[in-house]
Amino acid sequence: MKLTKDQINQIKNQQSQNNQTKRATVPELEKILYEAVPALDHGFVRVIDYMGDDTSIVQAARVSYGKGTKKVSTDEGLIKYLMRHWHSTPFEMCEIKYHIKLPIFIARQWIRHRTANVNEYSARYSILDKEFYLPTTENLAAQSLNNRQGRGDVLEGDQAKEVLELLKNDAERTYNNYETMLNQRFDGSQIDESKKGLARELARMNLTLNTYTQWYWKTDLLNLMNFLRLRADSHAQYEIRVYADIMLDTLKRWTPITYDAFMDYRVGGTEVSAKGKIIIEKLIKREDVNIENSGLSKREWNELMEAFKLNDRII
């Protein structure tokens, strides 16, 4: 990861602040506030602001409790109850804002989560950094034969070297053409003072998708967990999972009680359909049940067996 001098100075200035507030603050999250946590080869994740903590969730949930309530659950017990029963609005009372640097192709996948406020670096206004994402050899894999959006065997030897060279050369060539069309180098110098540069909004269109962009991404706690449940999963694309894992750590620092409940009920738990529930009940009773009489498709059956570690029944 490479930070510019301006970015380094900005982070130092932000971290040197010592503001007094009556709002809830979280010491563990404050420790990494504004810090650029490396992601991939040139990316990073920074927490730059947040609102609320675990107690904010409890406060929001209890606002509906009447005066006649005689007994109130502990904060941990209440948050677990809310998570277990899929309550949502109390978790929306907390918000967090990230500054993220990421490859464009991951940004386009990420933006499909339409539950955040996003402001991206403008290539119509500014020149994009001369930085591209190049996978490490262990993350350079062939197309999966049984999953249209997944990876198969890792490429090796000359084939891996050839692919990396193609990725690198294409990115560098298109960026050089980008500078030529702009008539301006990355360092700001003119290429040919006698020529006019193409408009930035047009010159950008030939850049490769592994070029890095940046954005501010602000969301509430509920939608952050929805994002992490999908993107920190082992089936998610490796590159976006790198960012999700970093953000999962910020969740743990920010709302540790909610994090524990999230990992237990959302990440570590599993959903079972009505038919699946009947099958599990029959298996517990040692009744005869198989895919033919289950009413499930092959995929549904295998997912259910895998969820309960019944690997000998996977077809």
pLDDT in tens, 41-91: 999 999 999 999 999 999 999 885 554 444 555 889 999 999 999 999 999
Class of domain 5-133+210-267: alpha beta
- Which of 106-120, 144-158, 222-236 is predicted least confidently? 144-158
Q: How far apart are CA 96 and CA 248, in angstroms?
A: 12
pLDDT tens-digit map of 301-314: 999 999 999 999 99
What are the distances in angstroms from CA 220 to CA 5, 47, 96, 100, 217? Answer: 31, 13, 6, 16, 10
Residue with token string 């003072």: 193
Residues with catalytic roles: 231
Domains of the chain, residue spans: 5-133+210-267, 156-209, 274-313
Interior angle at CA 118, CA 51 and CA 98, nearest 5: 45
Strand order of the β-sheet with 43-51 is: 37-39, 43-51, 95-103, 212-220, 117-120
The pLDDT tens digits for 206-220 are 999 999 999 999 999
Per residue in 171-216, pLDDT (tens digit) is 999 999 999 999 988 888 999 888 999 999 999 999 999 999 999 9
Secondary structure of residue 212 in the 3-state scheme:
strand
**Looking at residue 20, what is its pLDDT?**
84
- The two structure tokens encoding residue 139: 């993350």
**Rounded to the nearest 5 degrees, what angle is found at the Cα of 157, between the Cα atoms of 154 and 163?**
70
Average pLDDT, the chain: 91
Give the pLDDT of residue 255.
97
